[in-house]
């Protein structure tokens, strides 16, 4: 089977020769630790190298290109340092946020996901309707820069692909939080719900148009939306308010996705997603990630409750990876029933943190490879 065939079959509860091996990757601080502990600095694919170190002999998926699709604002704000303080700095990121970060970072860290960066939010780009009027100008779905220079040619090259192609978009909650900030958005749901509805409607139509424009040239295997909207124990917005404000958007996008015969509709949200999964299922979502264990998510219990209405990616506790040894063995044993049942590509339940050593990562990849049929 090809990597694409495995991806589609597993997440649709089909039969596969082996489950895709996607252990997860570390950001800069994690990789720097691994380099010190034995990972050669010239390794291109760390997961494959760890698999080989664990004794893996099977052919590794070659991967491939995706279809370039740009939902981000055009133009972006200037990345710049506004003020340098004794122990920190005030910067502007590409989204127009003003925030305070440590001196060990540059503004580029807020653009490219180089590493996890703790920041103090000072000002967000949309504070009133005048800001909103200007912000909307940055989101023209007809801008040629949102698609490849030769969309038909790029799409044609992907018709016989052997790797999965996924289109990623920001969900309505995610995007409004990007514009307004978490605190202002939370208050605005109560103080100015009509303004919230206006922004949500704009984002719904904008993404719907982007999807339809792109689907003329390339039909992906999954449409995946980022919707980080939960803390440990609860979602950031009540289920009732999700139903009122967000479900219509998720459902509308799901209708477009199904009308174009795209088999997978996925959502990413950190935090405790227990009360969100039923709403996602209602909207037509059939896969989600990363199922963070530390937030209280129990993928075994989810499978009992939601059955095969939802597939998952992730779900392996990063804390057990850091402890290593018997802890990670127990963790793989815990999720084994869901692996066997299908509809699950196991991997780290977020980015691999820097408290995971290189030897423990290799051992984790070895255990995961055994569980997924690669060893």
d(CA 31, CA 11): 29
Domain that holds residue 105: 78-124
222 and 99 together in one domain: no
Residues 139 and 274 in one domain: yes
| pLDDT (0 to 100) of residue 355 | 96
pLDDT (0 to 100) of residue 233: 87
∠ CA(199), CA(201), CA(203), 5° rounding?
70
* Same-domain check for residues 137 and 285: yes
pLDDT on residue 15: 96
Strand partners, 314: 346
* Domain final position from 87, 104, 124: 124
Domain match, 60 and 208 both: yes
pLDDT value, residue 194: 98
Residues 69 and 173 grouped into a single domain: yes
Q: What is the dihedral of CA 122, 125, 113, 249, to 10 degrees?
A: 120
Q: Are residues 30 and 95 in the same domain?
A: no
- The kind and range of the H/E element at 311 are strand 311-316
Instruction: Clarify whether residues 288 and 364 are in a common domain.
Output: yes
Asked if residue 149 and residue 95 are part of one domain, the reply reads no
Q: Which pLDDT belongs to residue 92?
A: 96
User: Phi/psi of residue 284, each to 5°?
Assistant: 100, 0
Between CA 169 and CA 30 the distance in angstroms is 27
Q: Residue 26 and residue 138: Cα distance in Å, rounded? A: 32
Q: Say yes or no: 348 and 212 in one domain.
A: yes
pTM for this prediction: 0.96
> In this structure, are residues 15 and 104 in contact, taking their beta carbons and an 8 Å threshold?
no
Q: What is the pLDDT of residue 116?
A: 87
Instruction: Check residue 113 and give its pLDDT.
Output: 80
Same domain, 109 and 252: no
Q: With CA atoms as reference, report the closest residue to 62 among 163, 151, 157, 136.
A: 163
CB 220 within 8 A of CB 159: no
Cβ-contact 147, 217 below 8 angstroms: yes
Nearest to 91 by CA among 122, 70, 65: 122
Q: What is the DSSP letter of 199?
A: H
**Contact (Cβ atoms closer than 8 angstroms) between residue 305 and residue 339:** no
Q: Which residues contact 222 (CB under 8 A, 6 or more apart)?
A: 11, 164, 165, 166, 167, 262, 263, 264, 265, 266, 287
Residue 297: other Cβ atoms inside 10 A: 25
- 103, 141: one domain: no
Same domain, 301 and 173: yes
Residue ranges of alpha helices (H) inside the chain are 3-11, 28-36, 46-53, 109-112, 129-136, 151-157, 172-180, 182-191, 193-215, 239-241, 247-259, 277-283, 299-306, 318-323, 325-341, 358-372
Kindly give the parts of the chain with pLDDT less than 50: none
Give the chain's domain count. Answer: 2
Element (H, E) at 288: strand 287-289
Q: What's residue 214's pLDDT?
A: 98
CA 314 to chain centre: 11
**Residue 243 maps to which CATH number?**
3.20.20.210
């Amino acid at each position: 089977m090809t990597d694409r065939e495995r991806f589609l079959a597993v997440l649709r509860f089909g039969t596969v020769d082996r489950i895709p091996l996607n252990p997860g990757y570390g950001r800069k601080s994690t990789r720097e630790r691994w380099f010190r502990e034995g990972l050669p600095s010239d390794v291109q694919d760390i997961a494959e190298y760890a698999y080989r170190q664990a004794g893996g002999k099977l052919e590794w998926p070659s991967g491939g290109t995706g279809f370039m699709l740009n939902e981000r604002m055009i133009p972006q704000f200037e990345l710049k340092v506004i003020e340098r303080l004794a122990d920190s700095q005030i910067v502007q990121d590409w989204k127009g946020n003003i925030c305070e970060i440590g001196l060990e970072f540059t503004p580029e860290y807020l653009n490219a996901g180089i590493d996890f960066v703790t920041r103090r939010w000072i000002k967000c780009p949309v504070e009133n309707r005048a800001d909103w009027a200007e912000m909307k100008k940055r989101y023209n779905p007809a801008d040629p820069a949102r698609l490849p220079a030769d969309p038909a040619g790029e799409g044609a090259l992907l018709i016989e692909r052997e790797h999965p192609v996924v289109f990623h978009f920001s969900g309505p909650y995610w995007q409004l939080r990007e514009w307004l900030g978490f605190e202002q958005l939370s208050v605005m749901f109560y103080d100015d719900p009509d303004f919230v509805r206006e922004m949500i409607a704009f984002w719904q139509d904008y993404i719907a148009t982007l999807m339809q424009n792109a689907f003329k040239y390339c039909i992906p295997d999954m449409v995946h939306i980022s919707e980080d909207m939960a803390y440990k124990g609860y979602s950031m917005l009540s289920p009732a308010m999700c139903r009122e404000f967000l479900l219509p958007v998720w459902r509308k996008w799901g209708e477009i996705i199904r009308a174009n015969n795209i088999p997978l509709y996925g959502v990413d949200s950190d935090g405790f997603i227990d009360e969100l999964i039923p709403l996602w299922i209602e909207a037509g979502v059939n896969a989600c990630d990363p199922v963070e264990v530390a937030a209280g998510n129990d993928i075994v219990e989810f499978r009992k409750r939601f059955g095969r209405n939802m597939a998952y990616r992730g779900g392996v506790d990063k804390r057990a990876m850091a402890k290593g040894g018997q802890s990670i063995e127990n963790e793989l044993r815990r999720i084994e029933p869901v692996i066997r049942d299908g509809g699950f590509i196991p991997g780290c339940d977020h980015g691999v943190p820097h408290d995971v050593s290189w030897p423990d990562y290799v051992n984790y990849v070895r255990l995961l490879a055994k569980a997924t049929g690669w060893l």
